[in-house]
Amino acid sequence: MTIGVLKEAADKRVAVVPDTVKKLKELNLDILIETQAGVDAYFPDSEYEEAGAAIASHQDILQKADVLISINPLEEPELKSLDKGKMLISQFQPFFDHDVADRLNGLGLRAFSLDMIPRTTLAQSMDVLSSMASIAGYKAVLEASRYLPRYFPMMITAAGSIRPAKILVLGAGVAGLQAIATAKRLGAQVEAFDTRSAAREEVKSLGAKFIEIEGAKEDTGAGGYAVEQSEEFLKRQREEVQNRASKSDIIITTAQVRGRKAPILVPKSTVDNMRPGSVIVDLAASTGGNCELTEDNQVVNHNGVTIIGDSNLAALMPQDASVLYSNNLFNFFKILVKDGELSLDMNNEIVSGALITTAPETTISE
């Protein structure tokens, strides 16, 4: 069976790195890598060839590969050009693109969506969402530091003392916890809020203060996403956030509700009360944003407050992001492949959860 790894159209990451090529070869798979697929992540073609992959053009890979791998899905015209029965592995986000499974089925294509892998202990090594969220949380703090006109740590100098920066993290999932850890390492004072009571101890273990707001709904099966809350709770939350925000130098927001618009945690009135020079980094920008003034993929200045809307910060660290994504992908392949061929056990919740199509052709075992 031949695996084809495509160069991303507008992303510096690559789905498979040279070290993973060697591991995939041990599964008796042939690997085609698109020319310069990894160059923006600092993995030249020569390293792929040394690992045992063949370098090919984009069109050759579309035609010859049995399985096409990418981080972001192919555009519709290219999907329509593919042979029926072709297998695709990418992040199709069916919770947001509700028709994607129907479109792929209509084209006779089979597809695994890596963002649909169950977020369970058993599947942790395949969880691309957590891998990318961890990088995003780290990068959010560094991006905030670029715009903040002040130090993070307390500084005692001959010219006077500088107070430490105060950072508020809204959402203590994978991204939020990494943001907390990074901000603490840089010397900031950090406090965090999450609707899940289980996050309390994790936040405290990182040295941050946990903000208590009673009455939150919880759902342990939400897969790391936030749960939609009552308007009464959201009102109390907004009041508490406004109180904390007026004293914060940086706010990092990470809350998303799967398949729905992100909740507004930082309304315009809160931003209006923040000090000039303060920074908001909104990691939920792609689903509407947690800040009312967020614009996706834009940096906005509102009365001296900088608002960074970016849900894809992991792409700003393409080398390590590619390594982690590639490792997740290999661990997924280990349960998909037997003797160099796809052998799909539909009784395995990871396989059945990630397979979003019902198109036939099948090496699929019922």
For the segment 291-304, what is each residue's pLDDT rounded down to a tens digit? 999 999 999 999 99
Q: What pLDDT shows up at residue 360?
A: 47
- The whole-number average pLDDT for the span 100-122 is 94
Per-residue pLDDT tens digits for 70-107: 999 999 999 999 999 999 999 999 988 999 999 999 99
Q: Are 160 and 166 in contact (CB under 8 A)?
A: no
Whether 119 is a known active-site residue: answer: yes
State the catalytic residue, choosing from 91, 130, 145, 178: 130
Domains of the chain: 2-116+321-365 (3.40.50.720), 132-316 (3.40.50.720)
With pLDDT > 70 as the criterion, what percentage of the chain qualifies? Answer: 94
CA dihedral (58, 63, 68, 74) positive or negative = positive
How crowded is residue 197: how many other Cβ atoms within 10 Å of its Cβ?
A: 12
Question: In 3-state terms, the chain is what percent helix, strand and coil (to 5)?
Answer: 35, 20, 45
pTM of the model: 0.90
State the catalytic residue, choosing from 13, 110, 119, 196: 119
- CA–CA distance, 337 with 29 (Å, rounded to integer): 9
With pLDDT > 90 as the criterion, what percentage of the chain qualifies? Answer: 79
State the catalytic residue, choosing from 225, 238, 244, 282: 225
Plot region of 91 (φ>0 → left; ψ -120 to 50 → alpha; else → beta): beta
Whether 197 is a known active-site residue: answer: no
| Cα–Cα nearest to 44, from 71, 17, 11, 26 | 17
State the catalytic residue, choosing from 11, 127, 249, 310: 127
Q: What are the start-end ranges of the E strands in the chain?
A: 2-5, 30-34, 54-56, 67-69, 87-90, 110-113, 155-157, 160-162, 166-170, 189-193, 209-210, 250-253, 279-282, 298-302, 305-309, 337-338, 341-342, 344-345, 364-365
Q: Can you spell out the DSSP letters for 189-248? A: EEEEE-S-TTHHHHHHHTTPEEPP-S-----TTSTT------HHHHHHHHHHHHHHHTT-
State the catalytic residue, choosing from 36, 81, 124, 365: 124
Per-residue pLDDT tens digits for 341-356: 988 998 999 999 999 9
Whether 124 is a known active-site residue: answer: yes
